[in-house]
Chains A and B, each alone.
Chain A
Amino acid sequence: MKPDIGYIENIAGPVIKAGGLPSARMYEVVRVGKEQLIGEVIEVGEHFCIIQCYEETSGIAPGEPVAATGDTLSVELGPGLLGAIYDGLQRPLPELKEISGDFISRGLTVEGLDKEKKWKFTPVVKVGANVVPGDIIGEVPETGIITSKIMIPRGIEGEIVEIVAKGEHTVVETICKVKDMHNTVHEVIMMQKTPVRIGRAFKERVAFDTPLLTGQRVIDTFMPLAKGGTGGIPGGFGTGKTVTLHQFAKWADAQVVVYVGCGERGNEMTEALEEWPKLNDPQSGKPLMDRTVLIANTSNMPVAAREASIYVGVTIAEYFRDQGFDVALMADSTSRWAEALREISGRLGQLPSEEGYPAYLGSRLAQFYERGGRVKPLGSDDRLGSITICGAVSPPGGDFSEPVTQATLRIVKVFWALDKDLAARRFFPAINVLTSYSLYHITLEQWHKENLGPDWPELVRDSLALLQKDQELREIVQLVGPDALPESERAVLEAARMIKEDFLTQSALHEIDTYCPIGKTYRMLRTIVKFSRQMAAAVKLGVSVRRILEFSVLDSIARMKTIPWDSYEGTIDAIDDRIDREFQSLFTEPDGSGVLMPGVVE
């Protein structure tokens, strides 16, 4: 069928009204103007349809042609995604640079996957096998970390009549032929093309049971995320959203990371591009970029493509989930995406709801987060895959009552509240432990008890209680001064100070402290809680807090953060012993005779 050619009727920024396209369908991709800019139909009327254009429209004039393509916005999936950096429409940025230089011009068409590159394909099924969509027929070692699985695409089912031997193939060569029940033979290639606006199908959702470890103490301890879960991180500018998400992308124990930089700074993407290939994944020891897909649609790139970038990212994540991987998707920032919705909606003259955002903001956000989860993908085996979604939210003025934050909080199960005051004190990560929450504590309790220690829930509860008590006491101190507090409460303040200074703060810039294995997190917390319990007990017996603060072990506790990842056990054991000894010494004569010495009581 020959595609329709229509004409431009009206142009206002990225919104174009076109006529002469009677068969235009919603979300169909069109080519706009003589330069063939990419656009998408977002409204269909009797005579005209409305198109949002993914590229700058300066100089385009009414009367220029608009060509329908019959396709919806799709991504190419297959070997070659990992380590790539794309714009919001899955155009590889390095190729764009080759074509148009250091600045991005418009009307460029570059496909997402390299069609020339040959990949080492190893079949895992034999001729005669029966396959259904989602079944794995072969493997491709894509990077040092990930071996991609090649799956039967949707709509193909039957008997394998031909499959290539182990060897090198491009993503568009036929590698397998499947004969269906009507004796029709289907050719299978490695690449799949999937529309981005609907989720890829799977068999069923599965309950969560494993945490997504981020290597960030405050998160792994107080607001853990489950593999397949969703989390939102709202915060005003300068509170560290991007640093936190970058830390997730670098250290989270997901197998594949998709990072969507949506309407944010160009230099932040450059930082990731320059730094991540040099960093090694702590699990595999291979460069981080080998497990990462970057999508960069910076704030000055066209606003409509920003809207699409989130869907492009999550579709790529689903492709890896379907192969049976645990995927983490970071979206920085969903507010910019919401603003893109608002801008387009405003130009369409739609009736605005709260703060000018369209009425469908909440449902669009929910649809996006719902694409996360832990599932059994299609296929005859029972492999599991998950997508964990972390979205940054940039509330205007840091005010969490605004629509995007509120709509996000209704959906996500983990809320990391960034605090401007903490950031101003350079207390990083500036996450307010008392206002943040995670609804996965109970889900994950079993895992924590088995893998860390049965006392984990208690340690978390106790330390949280200390922080809560600290907050209350500090309000009193503001009124009456610290002198008015009894010793036992001063001990609480000191214990809370230890948790905050020696445990919660974590430097993203320090080569060791930037990542904290969960085992070390557990040991550090246990030691600090142990100290605080002994301090409380000693104070009860009449020892002054001031005396306890002279303990030399405190210096070692403060420097636990920088103990190497692989040798913390012994060092922390020694600290635990010293805590016991130093508290013991309070009640012992200098000659070690073991008599309670009332002299230490001031």
Chain B
Amino acid sequence: MTKESSIVYRTVSDVRGPLLIVKHTHNVGYNEVVKIRSPSGEMLTGTVLETGRGKAVIQVFEGTRGLDADKTAVRFTGDTLKLPVSTEILGRVLDGSGNPLDKGPPLTAEDHRDINGSPINPYARQYPRQPIQTGLSVIDGLNTLVRGQKLPIFSGSGLPHNRIAAQIVRQAEIPGEKSDFAIVFAAMGITATEAQFFMNSFEETGALEHTALFLNLANDPAIERIITPRAALTAAEYLAYEADLHVLVILTDMTNYAEALREISAARSEVPGRRGYPCYLYTDFSMIYERAGRIRGRKGTVTQMPILSMPQDDMTHPIPDLSGYITEGQMIVARDLHRRGIYPPIDPGPSLSRLMKEGIGKGMTRFDHKELQAQLYYGYSEGRDFRDLVTVVGAEALTDRDQKYLAFADRFEQEFINQGDHENRSFEETLDLGWNLLSEFPERELKRCDTKTIGWARERGVYAYS
């Protein structure tokens, strides 16, 4: 790496959008950090996007307002972007690049880590298996979250994704285990009100002192959003793998992140992919999402919960679509459930937790969990199909069996999915509730469950068809 370059260049040739082009450079490294002094004396930061002999293209995080080709001074630091990390970062409020925003001292550093991280060797990973009890039945019962998972919330404008995320943060625990946890919160382009909502919620539960906040708000420079999740995850990896903490990372809103990426890509006149987003959006997302996980022989874990808003609730939009291909499932916040007053309005149909299969069952949650989950899914989707049918032909046209499914779908939404903001249900409560709702059906309708399991539920008194 080129360490000797303390030369200051005043050879800016072009300023274009968020990009700065410097001529006559010598031995500038790719991805190197650049310090820029604007004509008015302001200090800005950027990184090198492309470097050749005698030319470097720089992206400026704070934006290029006020820069010129004449007086602007550029210094290449010879190093890639690094974040000072230590456990002292907990309880601090930082800007989107990791500089303190609160009145506290500069960050102490036990180490400086490259914010881009390195890929975890798949051979070193350990498959995530410990279920997290969020206290929300629709998640715990149907799509259980697992420690070390990356499970995004796909939402839309006007939907209560922040409330859901805050409730999960408040309630998440591994039953019967008191362990050390931390929260890393990365805000990308959300409003100050939204950020305040989260801070209040963390404060209320006393979680604030275990939280590191990286805030790039709506009025902060857009390009800085490219480094915000990376800086946050660098801190999270340190806390998990060096300080043995179980870290929950909330990234909100990934849509704003992708838009910043698109801005850079457009300014560089790159060949666009779908909807103008760069062709490498998938690879870029994966460099963020894949930084969740669990490593053999290390105690801590990184669990990610990215929040992204789907433009026009469209799940096929490139941002949710590419995210879904990388993350281990998704929680879909549905507008129709929300309109009907159901909270949390998470639609079980398209929602999925890929890692739940290993995290539930005997010794994890309860032995009947898998069968019960399959049966509840079957019942709810049957009921929803009949709901469509009833609008056409009327309820009288349905058989008794079909009527039962119709009624089940309604009760399932009202009693199982629906719950209060401060209602914290244990795994046991959630599963028993599921059996309770199934009591409407005779045993032979419960094809997804083993007869022995049904017998067990009957004995327990939670399944009571007669």
Instruction: Give me the interface of A with B, judged by CB distance under 8 Å.
Output: 9-13, 17, 56-63, 85, 93-94, 96-97, 100-105, 236-238, 261, 263, 265-267, 269-271, 273-274, 296, 298-301, 303, 336, 339, 342-343, 346, 349, 352, 355-356, 394, 396-399, 420, 424-426, 477-483, 501, 507, 509, 554-555, 558
Contacts and interface: CB of A to CB of B under 8 A. Distances in A.
A62 B52 contact: yes
B116 interface: yes
Residue among B119, B293, B350, B394 facing the most chain A CB atoms (10 A cut-off): B119
B51 A62 contact: yes
A85 B148 CA distance: 22
A102 B53 contact: no
A11 B52 contact: yes
A10 B52 contact: yes
A269 B122 CA distance: 6
B270 A104 contact: no
B117 A303 contact: no
Given A10-B50, A509-B370, A59 B279 contact: no
Contacts of A480: 393
B193 interface: no
Contact of B397 (A17, A104, A342, A483): A483
12 contacts: A13-B30, A59-B29, A59-B31, A85-B123, A97-B123, A237-B321, A238-B324, A238-B350, A425-B377, A426-B377, A481-B389, A483-B397
Nearest to B295: A102
Contact of B352 (A238, A273, A479): A238
B119 A103 contact: yes
A104 to B, nearest CB: 5
A149 B121 CA distance: 32
Residue among B29, B291, B295, B330 facing the most chain A CB atoms (10 A cut-off): B29
A424 B350 contact: yes
A299 B286 contact: yes
A399 B381 contact: no
Contacts of A85: 122-123
A97 B297 CA distance: 13
Interface string B400-422: 00100000000000000000000
A342 B118 CA distance: 23
Contacts of B124: 97, 101-103
Contacts of B271: 346, 349, 352, 356
B279 A339 contact: yes
Contact of B121 (A97, A238, A420, A478): A97
Interface in B43-58: 49-53
Interface stretch (B92-100, B102-110, B125-133, B167-175): B125-133
A59 B316 contact: no
B127 A9 contact: no
B52 A237 contact: no
Nearest to A336: B282
A94 B287 CA distance: 22
Nearest to B376: A426
B275 to A, nearest CB: 10
A355 B277 CA distance: 11
Contacts of A269: 122, 125
Contacts, number: 219
A61 B29 contact: yes
Interface in B9-53: 26-32, 49-53
B280 A343 contact: yes
A217 B226 CA distance: 47
B50 A12 contact: yes
Contacts of A60: 29-30
B357 A58 contact: no
B7 interface: no
A100 B280 CA distance: 27
A57 B29 CA distance: 9
A394 B350 CA distance: 17
Contact of A273 (B122, B280, B374): B122
Chain B interface size range? 35 or more
A260 B98 CA distance: 38
A17 B30 CA distance: 13
A61 B126 contact: no
B80 interface: yes
B127 A267 contact: yes
B341 interface: no
A555 B444 contact: yes
Given A63-B27, A94-B123, A397 B321 contact: yes
Contacts of A56: 116, 118
Given A102-B295, A267-B293, A339-B279, A11 B316 contact: no
A300 B119 contact: yes
A538 B72 CA distance: 90
Contact of A59 (B30, B329, B374, B381): B30
Residue among A12, A263, A480 facing the most chain B CB atoms (10 A cut-off): A12
Given A103-B120, A266-B122, A398-B316, A300 B290 contact: yes
A303 B280 CA distance: 9
Given A97-B123, A298-B290, 9 more contacts: A58-B32, A62-B27, A102-B120, A270-B123, A299-B282, A342-B273, A396-B322, A424-B350, A425-B349
B392 A479 contact: yes
Q: Which 9 A-B pairs have the closest CB atoms?
A: A397-B316, A481-B393, A299-B286, A10-B52, A481-B397, A58-B31, A93-B123, A237-B324, A103-B118
B328 A105 contact: no
Given A273-B123, A298-B122, A266 B30 contact: no
Contacts of B29: 58-61
A60 B52 CA distance: 11
A397 B286 CA distance: 17
A103 B117 contact: yes
Nearest to A275: B127
A35 to B, nearest CB: 9
A266 B293 contact: yes
A478 B328 contact: no
A300 B377 contact: no
B283 interface: yes
A358 to B, nearest CB: 10
B119 A9 contact: no
Contact of B127 (A237, A274, A300, A397): A274
B4 to A, nearest CB: 11
Nearest to B5: A61
Interface in B204-251: 241
Contacts of A104: 118-121
B273 A298 contact: no
Interface string B301-322: 0000000000000011110011
A356 B265 CA distance: 14
B145 interface: no
B266 to A, nearest CB: 13
A272 to B, nearest CB: 9
Nearest to B57: A12
Contacts of B79: 59
A59 B1 contact: yes
B112 interface: no
A96 B120 CA distance: 11
A267 B125 contact: yes
A267 B359 CA distance: 14
Contact of A356 (B80, B279, B315): B279
Contact of B283 (A103, A343, A356, A426): A343
B455 interface: no
B374 A426 contact: yes
A104 B283 CA distance: 17
A311 to B, nearest CB: 19
B196 interface: no
B355 A267 contact: yes
A102 B127 contact: no
B116 A270 contact: no
A336 B295 CA distance: 25
A89 to B, nearest CB: 14
A17 B32 contact: no
B157 interface: no
B130 to A, nearest CB: 14
